[in-house]
Amino acid sequence: MRDKGDFIRLERMRDQCGVLLGDLTGQTLETFIGNRLLYDATVLRLFTVGEDATNLSDAMRAQAPAVEWHKIRGLRNIIAHGYSELEPERVWDIAVEFIPSFRQEIEKLLAVTPRPPVG
């Protein structure tokens, strides 16, 4: 049985990825590193994605076996417990190389997941 919150979590992950990618449009690694607000916003969005991935049901995660869920959840833990140890270059790489394909996988899951009833 699917968790009723899965759809909401998937939507939130998709939306966070979309905002993150929009924020990074036209940016370079150098401008990203030089803009602390953009960096912090990106890290917060990655954290939120990781939090929702952590709370997604096992059944839902099993529907997307190609997604490296453990890495997303691990990144959330690194952000939560070792924020000062994050490397901006690594955050950039994750954001521009991983998030676009991850968002596509989330879109696929949303397409086959029934929206929970309102109320």
Tell me how many domains the chain contains: 1
What pLDDT, in 10s, does the model give residues 37-65? 999 999 999 999 999 999 999 999 999 99
What is the structure's pLDDT at 17? 98
Q: What is the torsion angle, in degrees rounded to the nearest 10, for the CA atoms of residue 61, residue 64, residue 70 and residue 71?
A: -140
Per the prediction, the chain carries an average pLDDT of: 93
Task: Give 115's pLDDT tier (boundaries 50, 70, 90).
Answer: confident
Nearest Cα residue to 19 out of 113, 109, 95, 108: 95
Q: Environment class of residue 14 by beta-carbon count within 10 Å: exposed (0-12), middle (13-18) or buried (19+)? A: buried
Longest pairwise C-alpha distance within the chain: 46
Q: Is 118 part of any domain?
A: no
Q: Is 1 part of any domain?
A: no
Q: Is 116 part of any domain?
A: no
Containing domain of residue 25, as a range? 6-111
Q: What is the mean pLDDT of residues 108-117?
A: 89
Q: Is 28 part of any domain?
A: yes
Q: Is 119 part of any domain?
A: no
Q: What is the mean pLDDT of residues 19-25?
A: 98
Task: Give 119's pLDDT tier (boundaries 50, 70, 90).
Answer: low
Q: Is 117 part of any domain?
A: no
The single-letter DSSP state of residue 85 is G
Q: Where are the beta strands (DSSP E) in the chain?
A: none
Q: Is 26 part of any domain?
A: yes
Q: Is 13 part of any domain?
A: yes
CB under 8 Å to 9, separation ≥6 — which residues? 52, 53, 55, 56
What is the structure's pLDDT at 1? 42
